[in-house]
Amino acid sequence: MALLTPNDLININRQLQEADSVVQKVTGLDIKDVCQALYGTSPLSEKVGIVPVTSGNGIIGNFSASLHAITQYFGFDSFVTDMPDVSGYYEAVQNGAEIILMADDHTFLAHNIKNGKMANNQPCTGVIYAEIASRYLKADSKDVLVMGLGKVGFPGAAQLVQKGFRVYGYDPDARLLKRAVSDLGVIPLDPANPKKFSTIFEATPCANTIPEAVLSENCVLSTPGIPCAISEELRKKYDVQLVAEPLGIGTASMLYSVL
Ligand code: NAI
Ligand code: PYL
Ligand code: MG
């Protein structure tokens, strides 16, 4: 998994506010509304315990603090444990946490210990970024492009297929592209013969993955991928509505999914 760096998370509140205003402009709903519509849930000030985890590459500076800010932003009552790992988990439960948030280098989970529901960040991120893209009010058709069909992209593509979109997809990993075609009915994008889209969902760990030939004026690019999929130059040239944020939108999707 491509890991976040402390730099990605600087000013997380401002990043979240800016992303929320783009989501509102694109969909007419804010992030909370999209989560509510997606999962049919809303928070009742559930207590969230955030447990730092030291295994593997260890603590990411700003990670737990960012989760604290994000959970507060979405109306949850949250705290970060003093201790990490197993002792932190024990501390979280002892202090009344109903939902546990914790991540190692492979899995970032939300576990509601009251109702038993559990969420994984990668599918939850794919589903919500795809949902946001699917709600573009000015989309010119039901065609959507998905770039990257991995752990985030595939569940996002599945969400779009389930909502009745005609999903074009591309991944340089032929095995993943084949799986999306056979399991979801995704139409492979022919890089030699591209078409323009008003709605694009991207989930890759690479920069500049969106070729200019697929961009249309004022299109939406909904992308959790880090680094950003499009250059600032292309974004401005096509007046692209860019929904991109490093942690909060995916975390909101996880939390609403376990309520
Ligand atoms: P993954 O490795 O499972 O999938 C990425 C896919 O992108 C791979 O299949 C790869 O072949 C494909 N790819 C690479 N270059 C490409 C290109 N030029 N065009 C099309 N596809 C290309 O990774 P995963 O877990 O799906 O994560 C994707 C990105 O999302 C990463 O940057 C990760 O850090 C980020 N992420 C962001 C979150 C957020 O809240 N903003 C949450 C979770 C992940
Ligand atoms: C959850 C993010 C989204 C993109 N990559 C994922 C990532 O960076 N995962 C690692 C998270 C490790 C957190 C660390 C801590 O500070 O508790 N163990
Ligand atoms: Mg996010």
Q: Answer for the pair 132, 142: CB distance below 8 angstroms, yes or no.
A: no
Mean pLDDT of 97-103: 98
- The first and second tokens of residue 68, run together, are 């604290």
Q: How far is the CA of 152 from the centre of ligand 2 (A)?
A: 14
Give me the pLDDT at residue 127, please: 99
**Amino acid at site 136:** Y
Cβ of 2 less than 6 Å from ligand 2: yes
ipTM of the complex: 0.99
**Going from the N-terminus, what domains does the chain have, and what CATH number goes with each?**
6-120+250-258 (3.40.50.12150), 123-245 (3.40.50.720)
Smallest CA separation from ligand 2 atom 7, residue: 3
Instruction: Confirm or reject: Cβ of 156 under 6 Å from ligand 1.
Output: no
pLDDT at 45: 84
**224 — pLDDT class (breaks 50, 70, 90):** very high
**pLDDT tens string 103-122:** 999 999 999 999 999 999 99
Question: Could you tell me the pLDDT band of residue 196, with boundaries at 50, 70 and 90?
Answer: very high
At residue 162, what are phi and psi to the nearest 5 degrees?
-65, -30
Q: Given this model, what pLDDT does residue 212 score?
A: 97
* pTM of the complete model: 0.99
* 9: pLDDT strictly greater than 90: yes
pLDDT digits (tens, 9 = 90+) for 143-163: 999 999 999 999 999 999 999
Question: In which band, very low, low, confident or very high, does the pLDDT at 18 lie, cut at 50, 70 and 90?
Answer: very high
Q: What is the rounded distance in angstroms from the CA atom of residue 222 to the CA atom of residue 146?
A: 10
Ligand 1, closest atom to CA 122? 43
Strand ordering across the sheet containing 187-188: 187-188, 166-170, 143-147, 197-202, 215-222, 241-243
Q: Nearest ligand to the C-alpha of residue 252?
A: 3
